[in-house]
Structure 1
Amino acid sequence: MIGTPGKWSTESLADAFGERTGFRQVIDMARAVLDLDAGTLVCDGVDLTALDGLVLKKVAEEYSPDALDRLELLRVAEARGVRIFSPAERVIRLMDRLACTVTLRGADIPMPPTTITEDVTAARAALDRYGAAVFKPLFSTKARGMVLLDSDAPDAEAQIAAFKAANPVMYIQQKADLSGHDLGMVFLNGAYVCTYARVSQTDSWNTTIHSGGKYAPYDPSPELIELGRRAQAPFGLTFTTVDIALTPDGPIVFEVSAFGGYSGALKGCGIDAAALVADHVLQEVSA
């Protein structure tokens, strides 16, 4: 189990494997050592290249370019025949918000109008077109580091400049009308599992749990499930969640999660995703 020691989702998944196999090991990639000459990838005395499989729950506490380097280390284990769920190279395509967006748009998935630029003049022009926009870091989760700007804000240029200073490549997305909630649609190995809603409890512009949102069950239409299925299909992940919003102009997809929403599945749908993932992985490595 690759994850963050002490975190609920990591420990729950490790427990699920321990209950089924008698073997329980949480791997913190910050402690991993790759020896290319020896062909080993060792963490806390365990050579990851000697295992039957690895389950990737979290490669770092926060998304960052450094986290991509940890995934590159795991590719060495994959090259030596270790199966990783989800495969490292597929997760790499998701952790960078721009890479995820390019793949989704290439698959003709409806998304909010989006502009990516390093030019502050072009960024201001995009904000004027959108009226209100969310400036998003390329590496972040739970809306961390995101900035909501209105085109008529008197300090808009200063806020754009401040965002640019921390994020040289600016990802600018038109603010969507979420009507107080958005959805997390859960898939296991490409098969639909359930959908939960994140319902805002405050006047925050986003519905994330980090900003006070609460989980609730949601029963999607077959058409909405098909949209979620199409959105996650290009990535080929073991377990994932598709973030969907229902707007006055129809459903849109924000992103596909690299690691999936274990807490949302449990609290919103009453489904133990850790048990489902453990059963699936053990069936795969035993085949």
Structure 2
Amino acid sequence: MTEPRVAVIGIPGKWSTEVLADALEQRTGFRQVVDMADVSLDLTDNSLRCGALNLCELDGLAVKKISAEYNPNTLDRLEMLRTAEQQGVRVFSGAEKILRLVDRLSCTVTLRNAGVPMPDTVVTEDLQAAFDTVKRFGEAVFKPLFSTKARGMCVLGGEQSDAELRDAIAAFKADNPMLYIQRKIELSGRDLGMVFLGGQYQGTYARVSQSDTWNTTINSGGRYEAFEPDAELIELARRAQEPFGLDFTTVDVALTDNGPIVFEVSAFGGFRGALEGAGIDAAGLYADHILQQVRR
């Protein structure tokens, strides 16, 4: 029986991309990393080519990273993958499922519609409404609709004068026409990544701040450590990821004085946090899951 051929969509040379490609190669003997920047979609013959390779002739595509940074072009890359899906290629997670998560607002609306607790959030294009929101919140985090690892986010309010605040909001809006504003939450320097594979809970790691920055991301100097959640917290994270139907994901959860809240559900999930913080070989588990699905 011929082993399945599953390529990894990701960033060549990046650890999470390469470790997933390694895990698939160990199990099948086939290894291919694909950068979507090198892919061409030809709708004349419905081919999706990376060099001489037609991705539509593979058994599966594991999407570890669709672009180095999220932006509207990321959505176009996912749309291209739908051509492969139409021809029977399994995409993990499905292109339309990832599409609902790359845009922060789409993720937020889905979570709130499901009754998942989140930070107080206002979304507007109106500068006055944004100003009024910050005054009401005291301090607020402004987030681009397309970003990861807190890139492009900023905290406004606090000690700023009204004039300084208005100028800062206008400057943010220059690059972000839709203003996504969340009440700043006191995290005590830690938040959680709760890992799910095929909808099943795998484990939890904490991201712990090592500085006085407002976020805990590794990009800002944070580190990973183990964490054991209770059953209620696991159930909250399960409910948060359920509407998206992802093959692999991480639910970002914070513990506050008013109870746990969910920041977001990741389109791709975190391999390094799972390994270093919780001892979970996410790449190996994901590779097994993918191959089990492809072989059905």
- Normalising by structure 2, we get a TM-score of 0.96
Question: 2:177 maps to which residue?
Answer: 168
How far, CA to CA, are the matches of 1:69 and 1:238 in structure 2? 21
CA shift at 1:151, angstroms? 4.5
Displaced runs of 4+ in structure 1, greater than 3 A? none
CA distance in 2, matches of 1:17, 1:151: 49
Name the residue aligned to 2:26.
19
Counterpart in the other structure of 1:266? 275
Superposition map of 1:40-119 within 5 A:
40-119=47-126
Q: State the Cα distance separating 1:271 from its structure 2 match.
A: 1.1
2: CA distance between counterparts of 1:177 and 1:151? 13
Structure 2 Cα separation of the partners of residues 8 and 88 of structure 1? 22
Q: Secondary structure at the match of 2:267?
A: coil
Q: CA RMSD in A?
A: 0.6
**2:236 corresponds to which of 217, 221, 227:** 227
After TM superposition, the structure 1 stretch with the greater mean CA deviation from structure 2, 137-146 or 147-156, is 147-156
Give matches, 1:162-241, under 5 Å.
162-241=171-250
Aligned residues: 287
* 3-state SS, counterpart of residue 84 of structure 1: strand
Matched, 1:248 2:229: no
- Separation in 2, partners of 1:141, 1:5: 18
1:42 alignment partner, SS class: strand
Identical amino acids, percent of aligned pairs: 64
Q: Secondary structure at the match of 1:74?
A: helix
Cα shift readout 1:166-193 (whole Å, capped 9, x = no counterpart): 1000000000110110000000000000
1:117 and 1:239 map into 2 onto residues whose CA distance is: 31
Query: Which amino acid counterpart does residue 93 of structure 1 have in structure 2?
Result: R
| Alpha-carbon separation, structure 2, partners of 1:129 and 1:214 | 33
Give the aligned residue type for 2:292: Q
Equivalent-residue separation in structure 1 for 2:262 and 2:172 (angstroms): 24
> What corresponds to 2:292 in structure 1?
283
Tell me what 1:257 maps to.
266
Counterpart CA distance in 2 for 1:147 and 1:12 is: 32
Aligned to 2:147: 140
Q: Distance in 2 between matches of 1:45 and 1:196?
A: 41
**Mapped pair 1:6 → 2:13:** yes
Q: Distance in 2 between matches of 1:163 and 1:113?
A: 19
Unaligned regions of 5+ residues in structure 2, if any? 1-7
Unaligned runs of 5+ in 1: none
Whichever residue aligns with residue 176 of structure 1, its letter is: I
Structure 1 residue matching 2:169: 3-state secondary structure: helix
Instruction: Report deviation, 1:200.
Output: 0.5
Amino acid corresponding to residue 146 of structure 1 in structure 2 = M
Distance 2:249 2:89 in 1: 21
Q: State the partner residue of 2:5.
A: none
Alpha-carbon distance in structure 2 between the residues aligned to 1:265 and 1:109: 23
1:29 to 36, 52, 56: 36
